[in-house]
Amino acid sequence: MSYTFYFEKTRVWNAAIELAKQVYMICRKLPSDEKFGLNTQLKRASISVSSNIAEGLGRKGGNDQARFTNIAYSSLMEVVSQIRIAKEFGYVTDMEYEGIRDTSEKIANQLNSLRETQINRVNEPKEYYGMKNELEDQSLDSSQLAAYPRFLDSSKIDYFVHPSAIIDPNTKIGKDTKIWHFSHIMSNATIGEKCNIGQNVVISPDVVLGNNVKVQNNVSIYTGVTCEDDVFLGPSMVFTNVINPRSAVNRKKEYLETIVKKGATIGANATIVCGHNIGKYAFIGAGAVVTKEIPDYALVVGNPARQIGWMSEHGERLDFSESGEAVCKGSGDVYVLKNEKVVKI
């Protein structure tokens, strides 16, 4: 085959073809009295998914494209419902059922992202169309494609974005990350793999999040903040980046850096005053106001925050013996306290 149509290059269409293969294999096993029942319905619905993706991607207008993407999504839901019925009747094994479900979930996420791109296309300024076409004509790798998620086919992107979220150009977002309702990722922000960005979150320019960072609802992460891997940011916690803000004074060149180190937890409604780093696996209690550096493994609470103990990597409070050793109740790991520093053995 010397020519490849555009829809054949998309991950979502290829995933839909894989779904149809799985469905047809299962249909071969269905009893003969299901010939005009589940057999026909499953085949028809599975073919409809890939067919409507292809037809939609062949249309010109964003609304027209989105209409066929919606039909593909509806057909996908038919497959999910019908395969559940087949399982209830004992026609398919648990492994076959889970295989269909896994493929369907992947396609559903890709269709949601594709639909967002198509709907956004209707409202974008005309100059974006030229940018979109120019980018699609280039041979870009996945990291480059991720910098332009609103202008390119979202089926090429390996993270999930809710349709209500806004992703600015020149962002870097890692594989399997999820970005939920009404959140805004601003230009030059970097987000690692397998992160979860909750509802109504703002991530400002030049912010860096590592892998597996969990950001709960209503958090604003301002320029100057870096969160290493496995950090947890509780609901409505607050970062600052200027010590002495004034509305009439521009202090963008005075932003202070704050590093939240690997595995640290910051509780709900806590405030981190800028320029004070949070040690690895430290635990900031709900509502605490941090005004100084926090050591590794420290447990702090209050306003201003004060240290009241130590926490394990597992999230259990550590009780040190006179010899300076403690065992985590959750994991069994052993920790040593020496010169007011905690080290896991």
What residue numbers bound the domain in which 93 lies? Answer: 6-123
- Residue 17 maps to a domain: yes
pLDDT at residue 19 in the model: 95
**Domain endpoint, select from 73, 100, 123:** 123
| pLDDT tens digits along 254-266 | 999 999 999 999 9
Q: How far apart are the first and last CA of the chain?
A: 60
Q: Are 179 and 172 in contact (CB under 8 A)?
A: no
Q: How many CA atoms lie within 13 A of 244 on its CB side?
A: 2
| pLDDT tens digits along 158-212 | 888 887 888 888 899 999 999 999 999 999 999 999 999 999 999 999 999 999 9
**Domain endpoint, select from 99, 123, 147:** 123
Average pLDDT over residues 10-24: 93
pLDDT level of residue 121 (50, 70, 90 thresholds): low
Of 201, 185, 119, 195, the C-alpha closest to 158 is: 195
- Residue 141 maps to a domain: no
* CATH code for the domain in which residue 117 is found: 1.20.1440.60
Q: Which of 26-40, 134-148, 202-216 has the least mean pLDDT?
A: 134-148
**Residue for token pair 């607050």:** 238
Cβ neighbour number for residue 4 with a 10 Å cutoff = 8
Q: Are 185 and 192 in contact (CB under 8 A)?
A: no
pLDDT at residue 2 in the model: 53
- Report field, pTM of the whole predicted structure over 0.75: no
Q: Are 183 and 209 in contact (CB under 8 A)?
A: no
Name, in order, each residue with C-beta under 8 angstroms of 249's C-beta and a sequence gap of 6 or more. Answer: none
Q: Work out how many domains the chain is built from and give that number.
A: 2
Residue 145 has pLDDT above 60, yes or no: no
pLDDT at residue 120 in the model: 67
| pLDDT tens digits along 45-96 | 999 999 999 999 888 777 788 889 999 999 999 999 999 999 999 999 999 9
Residue 286 has pLDDT above 80, yes or no: yes
My answer on whether 119 and 172 are in the same domain is no
My answer on whether 164 and 95 are in the same domain is no
My answer on whether 191 and 282 are in the same domain is yes
In 302-340, which positions are buried (b, 16+ CB within 10 angstroms) versus exposed (e)? Answer: eeebeeeebbbbeebebebeeeeebbbeeeeeebebeee
pLDDT at residue 91 in the model: 92
